[in-house]
Amino acid sequence: MLCLSSRYLTAEETNDYFGLASGLDVCKTYTPLARALARASSDDPSVANIQGNLVLAFSEFINNEGSSHWMYAGTAIRMAQIMRLNKEYHQSHTLKEQEIRRRTFWACLFMDKLLAFFLTKPPTLAAINIACALPGTDASLAYQEPTRGITVATLGSFAGFPSEIGILPYLIKTVCLYGDIVDMNVCNHRFVDKAQPTDPLSTFHRSHAAMKVWVDALPPSLTWSEQNYANHAALGQGKAFVAIHFLTRSAFCVAHQAYLPQLDGSSILMDAVDAAGWSLLHREPELISTCVSNALATATMASYLYGSSARARSDLQSVWVAASLFSVANTLLWLQYSNDPLYADAATIEKAEAFFNLVLDIMNLWGVHWRAARQWMHTFRAMRAMYRAAYLGEVDDTILLGDGLTGSSGAGAVDEDSPSSGYRPRPGDGYISLNVVPSLYDSLRFLASDTSAEPKRLQSVWMQFASGWPIDFLNGMAPADATVDQECP
């Protein structure tokens, strides 16, 4: 807990409680101890050890510590599996302990879904094997009340009021449905699924239909409005309420953005097709409008919260919001630079630009306490640099003279006061090679995938991308004969 929470301490608090200069010094002091305890207890499954590994994994994740978060989360999940926390098999324990075990399992699922998104990996926990009840309220835990037995599958038909079961079950189901959509993106679904996304039987259509049904079924008190947010914030549930709505909105961008036609010179000349036989230049109006409208709606919520109050900005700071902003950032850039005939008006372009700059401002704010946010910010900047280069031919210094993602101020830079950098996959060594990013779509996917990987050298990505152009853009480089690896990570 000290590893995770100490980063938020003021200098005065750290001096009073620990005799140290900053919260980072506290983190540096206790993180090695926590890691040692995690290693020592790795073969001792218990609820306490699962919780400890989850907290350490989350701390390592927001601290941008290589791949260690994946290892600690994996240990926690394996412990939960061997203890079968995913089942209602714990009647020999008190009602309070049973509820703690349920909450511990759902915390494992949260971490599993979170890392699956940011590392572009399939999740470990499968929904078909989950048969434990959703958690109850804090009051029911304190009073040791028996579970209502509501599950992810039955929550949609719950006829009571949300106040009876709390907001957490609604967030859990939202994360599960969002994770189903993310799973498609992990495997680059457009180049794997032979069914067209408009086919009602396709995985794409079914997963998004399930999310839409869920959104439509939310009770009135859980729908998005400024008043509903204020109500939940007053109850200390602002973060969960915000996360639900960012995930439900951005879910319609995660996979949809693969169908945004890239009309830059390189993509037009490639004339490639996907697994369903659609040209990459194919326009499907419904998919595009759904993606664009939800990206703008997500950014509008972010703008409201960011400019509202200190409490609202605090509720905005969430890893689920971060995942949502990653999901919509590419669409905002596409609106700015693609000059698409339906969205080329000045008002839309200016709005998209303002929203993307807002995303950068949010990352900059979070970067004070989260090193990972600094990496995310540089990834967004790299994506913008790729768009400007591809569509406008403006190859700035971050590409030609240096790497926007490396160096002393880059996203992958290891701070001198960082406890450990850890193992990081790199191209050709546990990560996709540069010779399979011949298009703008592939280049953007390469930059945004797997935040645990060694920082991508923007100059190298651009040079590989530009080498696919049959024009003398950069010193007459030859076209690349690359094919995209469609296997899941």
pLDDT at 458: 56
Q: What's the CA gap between 418 and 28, in Å, rounded? A: 7
Write down the mean pLDDT value for the chain: 86
**Residues with Cβ within 8 Å of residue 116, at least 6 apart in sequence:** 122, 123, 179, 182, 183, 186
Q: What's the CA gap between 203 and 186, in Å, rounded? A: 13
Indicate the range of 178-182, 295-299, 466-470 predicted with least confidence. 466-470
pLDDT at 464: 53
* 169-183, 387-401, 421-435, 470-484 — most confident range: 169-183
Cα–Cα separations (whole angstroms), residue 315 to 6, 18, 110, 242, 312 = 19, 28, 18, 7, 5
**Residues with Cβ within 8 Å of residue 345, at least 6 apart in sequence:** none
Angle at 92 between CA 91 and CA 97, to 5 degrees: 75
pLDDT at 407: 38
Instruction: Name which residue leads in pLDDT, 188 or 301.
Output: 301
430 phi/psi in degrees, rounded to 5: 95, 0
Residue 195 in this model has a pLDDT that exceeds 60: yes
> 334 with 291: CB under 8 angstroms?
no
Residue 194: its H or E element: none
User: pTM, whole model, 2 decimals?
Assistant: 0.89
The rounded radius of gyration (Å) of the Cα atoms in the chain is 23
pLDDT at 460: 59
pLDDT at 481: 41
Residue 135 in this model has a pLDDT that exceeds 70: yes
3-state helix, strand, coil in the chain (%, to 5): 60, 0, 40
Indicate the range of 159-163, 173-177, 347-351 predicted with least confidence. 159-163
pLDDT confidence tier of residue 413, bands split at 50, 70 and 90:
very low
> 406 with 456: CB under 8 angstroms?
no
pLDDT digits (tens, 9 = 90+) for 64-107: 888 899 999 999 999 999 999 999 999 999 999 999 999 999 99
pLDDT confidence tier of residue 471, bands split at 50, 70 and 90:
very low
Structure-block tokens of residue 403: 């790497």
Q: At which residue do the structure tokens 């400019």 appear?
A: 307
Angle at 175 between CA 110 and CA 224, to 5 degrees: 130
Q: What percent of the chain has pLDDT over 90?
A: 67
